Chain A
Amino acid sequence: MEKYDKIALEILQQATGTDDLSEDKDLDLFEAEMLDSMSVISIIISIEKALNLRLQPTDFVKDDIRTVDNFAKFLKRKAEE
């Protein structure tokens, strides 16, 4: 889980253009207006580079990337599929 926690954090930090999301892994990124439709694309590309996993926009729902924690769980699930 450690590995995915790190990757999730890095990817979301890059997508939101922020330096430090590690403080609050439960922060709702949509509510905080840090994610939009273009971020989703950025996330998909980052996942491809980090885990060599090719995903489509319809492979995940908003909840999967809503918080750093959710995203880490999602990555683990997808990588092990």
Chain B
Amino acid sequence: MIQLSAYGSFFSLYIYGLLLVPAIILGLCGKKIKYYGMLLSLPLLGSLLGSELPRFLGFLAFEFVLLAVFYVIRRRWKNEKFYYGVVLLSILPVAGIKYAIAAQIPNVAFLGVSYMSFRIWQMIVEIHDGHVKVFSSLNVLYFITFFPTLSSGPIDRIGRFETDLDQAVSKEEYGNEYLNYGLKKICKGIIYKFAFANLLFMYAVDKIPTEVTFVNALLYMYAYTFYLYFDFAGYSDMAIGTGYILGIKVPENFNQPFLSKSIKEFWERWHMSLSKWFTDYVFSRFVLNMLRSGLIKKQTTAARLGFFVTMTLMGCWHGFTLYYVIYGMYHGLALALTDYYLKTKFYRRQFKKPYYKPVSRLICFHIFAFSLLIFSGFLIKI
């Protein structure tokens, strides 16, 4: 059994490259790539998961049956309590796995559990909202386990994904919009991850002494921030590029995040598929519930509480470890304060001045970098 990693080794890239050739040929002949992609999932998922495959399949079977049953029932009956019950049932195994990871119980976790969960929960909400008109088992399974994005996203949406799957794409369109762009993304991803991130890790992150002093923490903060960006953006680009070659226009994850002038803008440029997911499925619904039920009367209050709750949940999703939760709460607080700041007279008077852009970018960068210092776990020895 050949063990592959999700874009983590040149060997994996070589194998992917070979396996994508038939997809490219199909695309350039104007044929559908969907079934080849689905077929390819079988050996690739097997190889990526290795010994974790049994529990991956068990989890997938459970969640898939839950989705199918919910879809069938929802078509005839809309009940909020039942909906929340399904959501809870779906979250339970994931929460259990996250707990096991934090408690260091071995042989529980598996590749992709965090990101598959988003796709599953997104489907549950869409089924509840009545947006899922047809339930095609193969499409749904492919969507949840889509191997280019299995390990760390970007997070797609079922509606958008299915449209891409069944869309007829001409040879020219495939060549220009899918293949061309896909190859560029893969090249950029390789440089970001294998060159920049790798070098940053080997010669900076790994070289800084672990004793927590101000200087060490500062150096680590800068090194880790750039390392994480190049590693994650690189991975995302390779995932997006591979998706495109398979005929799926995977959503973007990064858009020059370090140009952000506020932490609010930051989350619109960093890990975009995640922040959009949390905005649409957690933040908006929480705030709407608070306002509709009358528990909170002012929209700004509901929004600021919403930021805090949403980001704390985001932190928890990373793991049930203290510094992940603190990381989440830090961002919740930062977003709430930024929301207040952006409405002040001071801001309205300053933001057009020439100094504002560079200075705000520098400050925003540091606000974010510090959060990553917490996230990295470097400070836990304090």
Seen from chain A, the residues whose Cβ lies within 8 Å of a Cβ on chain B are 37-38, 40-42, 44-45, 48, 56-59
The distance in angstroms between the C-alpha atoms of A56 and B126, with both chains bound, is: 10
A56 adjacent to B129 (CB under 8 Å): yes
Taking a contact as CB atoms under 8 Å apart, the answer to whether A59 and B288 are in contact is no
Residues of B within 8 A of A (CB): 125-126, 129, 131, 279-280, 283-285, 287-288, 291-292, 299, 303, 339
Bound-state CA distance A56–B80 (Å) is 14
Task: Report which of A38, A44, A58 forms a contact with B303, defined as CB distance below 8 A.
Answer: A38
Q: Which residue of B lies closest to A45 (CB)?
A: B291
Which residues of chain B are near A41, meaning CB under 8 Å? 284, 287-288, 291, 299, 303
Chain B binding surface, main DSSP class = helix
Selected contact of A57 from candidates B280, B291, B299, B339, CB within 8 Å: B280
In the complex, the answer to whether A58 meets B126 with C-beta atoms within 8 Å is yes
Measured CB to CB, the nearest residue on chain B to A41 is: B287
> What would 5 A/B residue contacts be, using CB atoms closer than 8 Å?
A41-B287, A41-B288, A41-B291, A57-B288, A58-B126
- Docked pose: A59 CA to B129 CA in angstroms: 8
User: Are the C-beta atoms of A38 and B299 separated by less than 8 Å?
Assistant: yes
By the criterion CB–CB under 8 Å, are B283 and A37 in contact?
yes
Please tell me if the beta carbons of A44 and B288 are within 8 angstroms of each other in the complex: yes
**Residue contact A37 to B279, C-beta cutoff 8 Å:** yes
Give the complex CA separation of A62 and B279 in angstroms: 14
In the complex, which residues of chain B have a beta carbon less than 8 angstroms from the beta carbon of A45?
Answer: 288, 291-292, 299
Q: How far is the CA of A37 from the CA of B278 in the complex (A)?
A: 12
How distant is the Cα of A42 from the Cα of B280 in the complex, in angstroms?
A: 14
Measured CB to CB, the nearest residue on chain A to B131 is A58
Given pairs A38-B339, A45-B292, A57-B288, 7 additional interface contacts (CB within 8 A): A37-B283, A37-B284, A38-B299, A45-B288, A56-B129, A56-B284, A56-B288
